[in-house]
Amino acid sequence: MPFMPVKFTLQKRVKLAQGVWMLYWLSVIVGIVIFSLGIFFKIELRKRSEMMDNNESHLVPNLLMLVGVLACGINAFGGKVCHDSLDPNKFSKWKPMLKMFLLLCCGFNVLLLLVALLCFLMQFAVYLTLAEGLKNGIKFYKDTDTPGRCFMKRTLDMTQIEFRCCGNNNFRDWFEVQWISNRYLDMSNDVVKDRVLSNVEGKYLMDSVPFSCCNPGSPRPCIQHHLTNNSAHYDYDHRTEELNIWVRGCREALFSYYSSMMNSIGALVILTISVDMAGLKYLCTALETMTDPENPESESEGWLLEKGVKETLADVLSKVKMMGKTNQVEEGQYVQSVVTQVFTDM
């Protein structure tokens, strides 16, 4: 009893071949889209690699590019097979490869599922890398004269301006580091000396933030310095002031940016797990079981599996067990014949 049999006339076979051909070429386009999304994601990671301490994992974009290329190749081959399927001469040269091809498609779909899962899970890694990278970024903000770190200030300023955020968790992260280089501090000044001495590690700490934390939407000119001192500014209360500087932390801002990107890529990959395989299987079996091979207009039957699901599984298991046993007793030809039998049964 074949599994899900369907009767096919010539018309239906032609329609099936055309439909499956279209589906395959659509999948090629989707493969190209996945490849370009992989490139886009890789570029975005490189752009902000300084914020992630140059430590970010490029596993996901590399996999996406690989999967995109593979999808293009496999689906183009499937399309070619469909195109040739209605011409018996051309189809006969593809017949022996079809079993392997369907197995390959199965394996490829499993790979797609894995990649989609990775897209969703790697977000945690991105979050942790961002936390570490931003902490170091804020620490090295003042080191514009140290080779290898001289652009950290500019990068962090541009990031805070672009993503409308301030600091790692919030703006108070700036109160805990010295972000003004000693080159620009007048060490002979009493105020400066007091601040440096009042701190255990001799750091010059202030309750101020850099200019890139300023919010242009604030109705008043930006207040950067003496943020916690209400009397330092006219008509200012630091507890109720909301619009003066950005309140969101950069880790949260960058993470939401990357996670939305990864979520949408993962969703697209899941969508491409295709049903082309079922169509191709029907087409192949329909062509093989033509009642009168010479007459192209004869009827035929197509199915997904030659026997029912349970029977096929039992068959495969028994064959595998036999293979295991014969490996101990005999090898060579017997094993080969068993393997071909397993494949022809599918």
Site residues for another protein per CB under 8 A: 144-145, 150, 153-154, 157-158, 161, 179-181, 183-186, 189, 210-212, 214, 216-217, 219-222, 224, 233-235
Which two structure tokens, joined as six digits, stand for 112? Answer: 């797609």
Give the residue with the Cβ less far from another protein, 169 or 181.
181
d(CA 236, CA 239): 9
HEC assignment per residue over the chain = CCECCEEECHHHHHHHHHHHHHHHHHHHHHHHHHHHHHHHHHHHHHHCCCCCCCCCCCHHHHHHHHHHHHHHHHHHHHHHHHHHCCCHHHHHHHHHHHHHHHHHHHHHHHHHHHHHHHHHHCHHHHHHHHHHHHHHHHHCCCCCCCCCCCCHHHHHHHHHHHHCCCCCCCHHHHHHCCCCCHHHCCCCCHHHHHHHHCCCCCCCCCCCCCHHHECCCCCCCCCCCCCCCHHHCCCCCCCCCCCCECCCCHHHHHHHHHHHHHHHHHHHHHHCCCCHHHHHHHHHHHHHCCCCCCCCCCCEEECCECCCHHHHHHHHHHHHHHHHHHHHHCCCHHHHHHHHHHHHHC
Give the residue with the Cβ less far from another protein, 24 or 179.
179
Tell the smallest beta-carbon distance from residue 137 to another protein (Å): 13
Tell the smallest beta-carbon distance from residue 217 to another protein (Å): 5
Tell the smallest beta-carbon distance from residue 181 to another protein (Å): 7
Give the residue with the Cβ less far from another protein, 217 or 324.
217
Give the residue with the Cβ less far from another protein, 235 or 294.
235
Give the residue with the Cβ less far from another protein, 46 or 225.
225
Tell the smallest beta-carbon distance from residue 248 to another protein (Å): 18
Tell the smallest beta-carbon distance from residue 133 to another protein (Å): 18
Q: For 229, what's the count of Cα atoms within 13 Å in the CB-facing half-sphere?
A: 9
d(CA 260, CA 262): 6
Give the residue with the Cβ less far from another protein, 143 or 301.
143
Give the residue with the Cβ less far from another protein, 221 or 332.
221
Tell the smallest beta-carbon distance from residue 112 to another protein (Å): 35
Give the residue with the Cβ less far from another protein, 143 or 299.
143
Tell the smallest beta-carbon distance from residue 260 to another protein (Å): 23
Tell the smallest beta-carbon distance from residue 142 to another protein (Å): 8
